[in-house]
Structure 1
Amino acid sequence: MSTSREDVSAPAYILGIDLGTTSVKAALIDSDTKEIVSTASSETGAGVSSEIGPQGNEQDTSKIIRACSACVSGLPRDNLVKVRSIGVSGQMHGCVLWKSGNGWSNTGTSGYDTDKCSHLVTWQDQRCSSEFLASLPAPKSHLRLATGHGCATLFWLQRNRPEVIQEYDCAGTIQDFLVTMLCNLQKPLMSVQNAASWGYFDTINKVWNIEVLSEAGFPVHLLPDVKIPGVEAGHLESSWCGIPKGIPVGVALGDMQCSILPSLKIETDAVLNISTSAQLSFKMPRNFIPPHSEPGSAIEYFPYFNDSYLAVAAALTGGNALATLVKMLQQWMHDLGHETPQAQIYDKLLSSAQETKETDLVISPTLFGERHLPNQRASVTNITTENVSLGHLSRAACHGIISNLHDMMSRDFLVKSGVNRIVGSGSALTRNKVLQQEIESIFDLPLLYGQGGDAAVGAALTRTMKFTD
C-alpha cells in the first residue's frame, strides 16, 4: 500500500498522562523533536471521607478517571487524532481494587464508568500504625515498608475488612488501573517502579516476596505481574477522546521518576521537586547495588530506568503543609464571619513573607510525619510578641519545609556524592518565590528553576526511549 508524501510528513504526537494527588495533567510532545506541543490539567476533587475516620485517606476512583478523560479531551482534537503512543504515570504507593471484567464499562462518549471499583487508598493514608506495621513480616527488599504502601494497605484490609478483599480479584495503583482499563487487560501489569513503591518487592531480582507474603496470609492473588519501566503494556482497546484505537500504551510508571526525567539532563545534578509532597534526588552510578534501608535513615534508593537507581529523600511534607495552613486561616476567617477565597489567602501569605526576609519563629511543618519518623508531628516554637505576624508565619512555614528536606538529605551529602547543582521543579516550588529563596539560603548550591518537572511530559518522553523486557 502506497503512502503519500503528505502522510509521511504529517506530525506524530505522544500523549503523556499523570494522575496526581490533586489533579490530572496531560501533555502532547512531538515524537521527533520531543518538544511540548500542548498541555492541559484538571482538578480531580476526588477526596472522600473514609469509613475508618481521619486515619484513612481515600479518593473516589471514578472522579479521577472522569477528570482524566476531561483533561485529555481538553487537548486540541486535531492533535489527538495524531497520537501514536501513550505514556502514563501517577501517584505512587496507593491501592485501588477491582474485579476482572467488571471494573469498568466504556460509555462510548470518550469516558468510562468505573463505579464498581474500590476507592483509591492513597499514599497519605495513615491506617497502618507503627504497631500494625511491626506485626507484619519483614520484607525481603532494600526498601522499608510504611503506611500508605499498597501491600501494607492490603494487609490491613485482609485483617480488618476481609469482605473487601473477597469482593475483588485485581489490585494496582491508580495509574495501573487506568492502563488496564484503556487496554482492556484481564490482569493488571505493574512497572518495577510502582511495585517497589508497594513494598515486599525485590528490585534486584524483580520479584514479589511471594513466600513471605503467603506465609503471613496475604492475598497474593491480587499482586499484578511486573514489567520493567518503559515497556509496552498493551494497546488502546477502543478510540478514546479522539485518539485512534490500537495505539500502544506503556506500562504505568511512578510520578516521581517521570517528574525527574525531563529535568535530570546532567548526572551531577540533583532534582528537587515540590508539589503536594517533596522529593530531592540524584542518579546513582552505573552498576550501583542498593543497600538495605537503615532504621531512621531518610534516604532510600528507588528504581529509575534501565536498571539504574535514584538516591531519594522523599518527604511527606511539601505543598500540602502550605495548603493546610491556608485552610486553617480560611476556617479562622469563616469563624470570625468573613469568607475569603483560598487563592486570596495564599497570595497574601506569599506577599507578606516576601516583605519578611527572615524570622526567628520556628515551624516544623511535618503534619503528616515522615516515613523514616512516622510518629513525628508538626510544632511551632520560639513564639514572641514580635514574630506573630502573617509574614513571619508564612516565612517560617516555607523555611520549615526546606529545612525538613535538608535534614533528610543535606548539602554535605549532596556535595560528597558529586552533586554540584540543584534543578528545582514542581508546581508548589516554581510559583513560590519564598520557597526558592529558602532553598538558595539553606542549600547554598547553584540553582536552576522551571526546567522540566512535569510527570506527564516525562511519561510521554519514556515512549521515545528504548527498553527491553
Structure 2
Amino acid sequence: MSLQAPSRYVLGLDVGTSSVKAVLLEAESRAVVDSQTKKTKADISSLDGEKCREQDVARIVSAVNSCVAALPREHLCKVVRIGVSGQMHGVVLWKSEEGCIWQGGETGFTFQPKKTSHLITWQDGRCSRELLDSLTRPDSHLSLATGFGCATIFWYMRNRPQFLESYNAAGTIHDYVVAVLCGLRRPLMSAQNAASWGYFNTRCGTWNLQILRDSGFPTYLLPVVVESGAIAGKTDHEWYGVPEGTEVGVALGDFQCSVYSCMTETTDAVLNIGTSAQLTFALIPGFQPPAHPDPTASIAYFPYFDGIYLVVAAALNGGNVLASFIEMLKQWMQELGLEVPESVIYSRSVHAALTITDTDLAVQATLFGERHSPDQLASVTNISPSNLSLGHMTRALCRGIVKNLSSMLPCQQLIESGVQRIMGSGSALICNDVLKQEVEKAFTLPIVYGKNVDSAVGVAMVMLDRK
C-alpha cells in the first residue's frame, strides 16, 4: 500500500516529560489535519530521596489514550503507520508477559499498564558522582550521566537489588508504548534511545555486553537494538479506530524528531530555545565521533538517521532562566505588598529591554549549570548606577543566555561546517524579540523563524519517509 495514496494518515505520538501530543499527518499533502495535547500530571514523590524524579506510568498511558481517542475516528480508521517519540534517557521496567491489559469498549480497544515500575525520568538525580565514577567506563563516545537508563539500573543494583527481580524487560516510556501496541515479548529500541541510555557503541550498534556482564548488570533487561526508523511491528489490537495490523515504528528520540520536523535542508542548523536551549546541525555522511567522550566538551554527537550524526550544543539554560528572573521579580513585588501577574511582568520586562539597544551590564546566565561545567553558577558583573534599570537587566539576561549557547557552539564553527542558515524555534525565542535580537547579533547567518520544532510531527514525518 502506497503511503502517498489519498486519504491515508500517519499517527505521530510524542510522550513528553509533562505532556503527550498526538498528530495526524495526511500522507499526500504532509499536512497536519488534527492534533491533541494533554498534560500527564504524572510526577510523583519517590521513596528514594529528594533528587529522584519519577512518574506514574498509568497517568502517562491515560494521556496517550485520551489524545488518540480525541482524534477524528474517520481519520484514525485510515491510519497506515504509527510513529512514537518521547523523553530520552529515562527507564521503565515491566513484566513482558503481563505489561498491560487491553480492554474493549464503545470507543474501541484501549490499554492500561500492569506490573510496571514507575518511570524514572531523565531528570533523575539519584546517581551521585561517586557512583558514576565507580562504574567501569563505557565503550561509547557519550559520557554517562545520572538519569541515563543504565546508570539508574546500576543504582538499583547497588541500593535495591530486589526491586529488579520483579521485571524482565526495560526501556524508555515510548519503547514501552511501542512494545504494548505491537505485543512484543521483548522490547525493541532504536539506536537513538540506546545511545541515550549509556553503555552503547554507536559505531557497531551494540550494547557493551561484556563490560556490563563483568559488572553484574542484568543484561536480560536490555532491549534489542534496531536501526532508527525501522518498523518495530504491527498493532495486535484495534485502537480507537486505528486498524489492527497497522505498522508501528521503533520508538525514536524526541530531540532527533524535533530536528527532523524543521531541518528542511542538510545545510540548515536548528536553534531551539524553550525551557532549555539547543543548537544543532547534521554532520556529513561518514563522520564518526571520537572513540571516547571528553567530559569537558560543550558539544556531543547524537545518532540521527541513516548513519548520520548531529553535533549538539545542549544548554541547560534557556527560557527557564528568564522564568526564574520573572519569578524573582514577582516575589519581590509580593514582599512589597503588590500582586502583579507573571505575564504582565514578562511583557513589560521585554518592552523595557526593547527600548535599550545595548548595555554594558554582563550576566553569566548559567543559573542551572551545564553538563560540561556542572559547578558553573550565574553571576552579574559590571554593575553601575547607569545600568540598573529593568530594561538593562532584561537585555543583559537575554544576551547572557545566547552568549552561553554560542560559546558552546560558535557561529564560526557553523560556517566552517557548511551551515548556510539557522532555523529559529522554541516558545521562549519566538515570543521574545529581545532574544531574537541577541541571537541575530551572535549568529551572523540568515535566521528563519516560524517553523517550530514538534517531535510528534517529526516522528510522523519519519514514518512517512521510511520505505
- What is aligned with 2:129? 130
- What is aligned with 1:234? 233
Query: Scaled by the length of structure 2, what TM-score is found?
Result: 0.90
Q: Paired residues, what number?
A: 461
In the superposition, relative to structure 1, how do residues 460 and 383 fare at CA in structure 2: closer, same or farther (>3 Å)? Answer: same
- What is aligned with 1:255? 254
Measured against aligned partners, the alpha-carbon deviations of 1:83-111 in whole angstroms (never above 9, x if no partner) come to: 11111111111112222233332343564
The answer on whether the counterparts of 2:6 and 2:28 sit within 8 Å (CA) in structure 1 is: no
* CA displacement at 1:438 relative to structure 2: 1.8
Measure, in 1, the Cα distance between the counterparts of 2:112 and 2:331: 35
Measured against aligned partners, the alpha-carbon deviations of 1:277-332 in whole angstroms (never above 9, x if no partner) come to: 32211111111111133231111211111111111112222333334444445555
- What is aligned with 2:296? 296
- What is aligned with 1:56? 52
In the superposition, relative to structure 1, how do residues 323 and 233 fare at CA in structure 2: closer, same or farther (>3 Å)? Answer: farther
In the superposition, relative to structure 1, how do residues 56 and 459 fare at CA in structure 2: closer, same or farther (>3 Å)? Answer: same
Measure, in 1, the Cα distance between the counterparts of 2:237 and 2:151: 35
Measure, in 2, the Cα distance between the counterparts of 1:334 and 1:182: 50
Measure, in 2, the Cα distance between the counterparts of 1:331 and 1:238: 52
**Stretch of structure 1 that moved more, 34-43 or 318-327:** 318-327
Matched position secondary structure for 2:144? coil
Measured against aligned partners, the alpha-carbon deviations of 1:218-266 in whole angstroms (never above 9, x if no partner) come to: 2212111111011111222222233222211100001111111132222
Matched position secondary structure for 1:403? helix
- What is aligned with 1:89? 85
**Stretch of structure 1 that moved more, 75-84 or 130-139:** 75-84
- What is aligned with 1:165? 164
- What is aligned with 2:465? 465
Measure, in 2, the Cα distance between the counterparts of 1:358 and 1:111: 56
**Uncovered stretches (5+) of structure 1, i.e. residues with no partner:** none
In the superposition, relative to structure 1, how do residues 394 and 44 fare at CA in structure 2: closer, same or farther (>3 Å)? Answer: farther
Matched position secondary structure for 1:262? helix
Measure, in 1, the Cα distance between the counterparts of 2:98 and 2:337: 48
Measured against aligned partners, the alpha-carbon deviations of 1:125-160 in whole angstroms (never above 9, x if no partner) come to: 222232221111111011111222111121112212
The answer on whether the counterparts of 1:91 and 1:123 sit within 8 Å (CA) in structure 2 is: yes
- What is aligned with 2:219? 220
- What is aligned with 2:318? 318
In the superposition, relative to structure 1, how do residues 198 and 408 fare at CA in structure 2: closer, same or farther (>3 Å)? Answer: same
- One-letter code of the match for 2:15? L
In the superposition, relative to structure 1, how do residues 210 and 394 fare at CA in structure 2: closer, same or farther (>3 Å)? Answer: same
Matched position secondary structure for 1:404? helix
* CA displacement at 1:29 relative to structure 2: 1.2
- What is aligned with 1:402? 402
Matched position secondary structure for 2:66? helix
**Stretch of structure 1 that moved more, 380-389 or 438-447:** 380-389
- One-letter code of the match for 2:165? Q
Measure, in 1, the Cα distance between the counterparts of 2:203 and 2:297: 21
In the superposition, relative to structure 1, how do residues 53 and 432 fare at CA in structure 2: closer, same or farther (>3 Å)? Answer: farther
* CA displacement at 1:73 relative to structure 2: 2.8
Report 1:91-170 matches (<5 A).
91-108=87-104, 111-114=110-113, 116-170=115-169
Matched position secondary structure for 2:162? helix
Measure, in 2, the Cα distance between the counterparts of 1:107 and 1:362: 59
Measured against aligned partners, the alpha-carbon deviations of 1:330-371 in whole angstroms (never above 9, x if no partner) come to: 555566666665545544444444344444443333343222
Matched position secondary structure for 1:25? strand
- What is aligned with 1:78? 74
Measured against aligned partners, the alpha-carbon deviations of 1:165-203 in whole angstroms (never above 9, x if no partner) come to: 223222111111111122222221100000011111011
Calculate the aligned-residue CA RMSD, in Å.
2.5
Measure, in 1, the Cα distance between the counterparts of 2:324 and 2:115: 32
The answer on whether the counterparts of 2:298 and 2:408 sit within 8 Å (CA) in structure 1 is: yes
- What is aligned with 1:68? 64
Measure, in 2, the Cα distance between the counterparts of 1:39 and 1:253: 19
Measured against aligned partners, the alpha-carbon deviations of 1:50-95 in whole angstroms (never above 9, x if no partner) come to: 3344422233322222222222333333222221111111111111
1:44 to 35, 40, 57: 40
Measure, in 2, the Cα distance between the counterparts of 1:91 and 1:376: 25
- What is aligned with 1:424? 424
Query: Scaled by the length of structure 1, what TM-score is found?
Result: 0.90
Measure, in 1, the Cα distance between the counterparts of 2:433 and 2:27: 34
The answer on whether the counterparts of 1:21 and 1:276 sit within 8 Å (CA) in structure 2 is: no
Matched position secondary structure for 2:170? strand
Measure, in 2, the Cα distance between the counterparts of 1:339 and 1:66: 36
Measure, in 1, the Cα distance between the counterparts of 2:461 and 2:235: 18
The answer on whether the counterparts of 1:66 and 1:111 sit within 8 Å (CA) in structure 2 is: no
**Uncovered stretches (5+) of structure 2, i.e. residues with no partner:** none
Identity of aligned residues (%): 51
In the superposition, relative to structure 1, how do residues 160 and 352 fare at CA in structure 2: closer, same or farther (>3 Å)? Answer: farther
In the alignment, does 2:431 pair up with 1:435? no
- One-letter code of the match for 1:439? V
The answer on whether the counterparts of 1:260 and 1:452 sit within 8 Å (CA) in structure 2 is: no
